[in-house]
Homo-oligomer: A and B are copies of this chain.
């Protein structure tokens, strides 16, 4: 970890990407039929993120709802890029909005979009979901599965879901939950860092 005493650079900027293996993992197929098929992809990204030590045990992707077309995929990148914001959902949504060149995936001019995520969104990601413009969210593991290994999921309440539901977002739970929860536990059992705010960060992982 560098000291905060370094002089500020003239043009500060942050580059957000996914590990290079994500591109090859998603290249073979561009449209997906069922929630189970979409979730199988997202869970495979979570598993590979753990196996390759490129981040936490979470994957997410944005699809066009009607066509099943994959718009963008993300994996948790908090430790790899040393950035607490980069949960899998955030990475997927940022890349999707960049691809369609719109700060919302929900305007009338675009097809409807949905977020498939290997774990229930934390407080931050539920807010991102609201602003993202996706109309549908499908989840595998539950908040309790992430909390069971020590991840802080933040202030999310029944009223939080009611707030998004009132704005037209629908939620589907427990699609392949057990499979995703087992990856989260395996990450913890292998000594993967639980990167909460009061953690002591380790060195960044491989690129």
Chain A residues at the B interface, C-beta cutoff of 8 Å: 1-4, 6, 8, 10-18, 20, 23, 64, 69, 71-72, 78-79, 82-85, 90, 93-95, 97-104, 106-111, 122-128, 130-133, 152, 154-155, 157, 159-160, 163-164, 167-168, 195-201, 204
Contact = CB atoms under 8 A, between A and B. Distances in A.
Nearest to A94: B14
B104 A195 contact: yes
Contact of A12 (B99, B163, B195): B99
A13 B97 CA distance: 11
A172 to B, nearest CB: 19
A100 B155 CA distance: 27
Q: For the complex, would chain A's binding face be called helix, strand, loop or mixed by DSSP majority? A: loop
Contacts of A17: 11-14
Contacts of A97: 82-84
Nearest to A71: B4
24 contacts: A1-B100, A4-B99, A4-B110, A8-B99, A12-B18, A82-B98, A84-B97, A84-B128, A85-B85, A85-B90, A104-B197, A106-B198, A107-B201, A122-B127, A123-B127, A123-B130, A124-B127, A130-B154, A131-B197, A152-B167, A155-B159, A155-B160, A157-B157, A167-B198
